[in-house]
Amino acid sequence: MQLKKGLIFLISAISFNFSFSQEELFTAKVLTEPDLFTSGIEGPACDKDGNIYAVNFEKKGTIGKVTPDGDCSLFVELPEGSVGNGIRFNSNGEMLIADYTGHNILKIDMETKEISVFAHEPKMNQPNDIAITSTDILFASDPNWKDSTGNLWRIDKDGTVRLLESDMGTTNGIEVSPGNKILYIN
């Protein structure tokens, strides 16, 4: 009797797992027309309404917006000479952008589209990708492609920039784990 119950449970568990393994997690579909973004498209991030933002919409130095329905438009042009890379949103809904040519982290008010320098550090090679904690602490990867080295920066809520680690290898992608316990960087 015990063996029969165990076999029924095992068969039920296998059937249960098999039914979930057949379920599609998502369906890929084309959302935008080809070539709306340049070959330098980077830093996609979603706002609270499900809009996707990415840098270099139609030309360098811009940020494009893609609605959940696939409507695309220019959201903002960055200040002269600025080129964005990574994008994240803070808890106030403001957009933060790594400006790798200006050695800045830019901030955009989503209502007014006003762009300001949130943080600046001339010692940055080129802030590339950014990650943000649930308490709005920002981290920036900072590769030096020529020398195959890189740095890791912390940017506090007030815009204070601190070097956390240097000579790491070419730092690029970066993310914070749920719960803010682990910072991943490659």
What is the Cβ-side half-sphere exposure of residue 62, based on CA atoms within 13 angstroms? 15
Residue of 135, 55, 56, 137 whose CA lies nearest to 152: 137
What average pLDDT does range 10-15 have in this prediction? 41
pTM here is 0.83
> Is the predicted pLDDT of residue 74 greater than 80, yes or no?
yes
> Which residues fall within 8 angstroms of residue 49, CB to CB, at 6 or more apart?
68
Q: What is the sign of the dihedral through the CA atoms of 74, 97, 177 and 48?
A: negative
> Is the predicted pLDDT of residue 114 greater than 90, yes or no?
yes
When the pLDDT of each residue in the chain is averaged and rounded to a whole number, the result is: 87
What average pLDDT does range 63-79 have in this prediction? 95
Q: What is the pLDDT of residues 97-106, one digit of tens each?
A: 999 999 999 9
Integer Cα distance of 170 and 186 in angstroms: 8
CATH (residue range 2-185): 2.130.10.10
| pLDDT value, residue 174 | 95
Integer Cα distance of 16 and 123 in angstroms: 55
Residues in the chain: 186
Strand, helix or coil for residue 186:
coil
> Is the predicted pLDDT of residue 18 greater than 80, yes or no?
no
Helix H or strand E encompassing 38: strand 37-46
Is beta strand 138-144 parallel, antiparallel or unpaired with respect to 174-176? unpaired
Helix-strand-coil percent breakdown of the chain, rounded to 5? 10, 40, 50
Q: What is the pLDDT of residues 127-166, one digit of tens each?
A: 999 999 999 999 999 999 889 899 999 999 999 999 999 9
Domain boundaries, the chain: 2-185
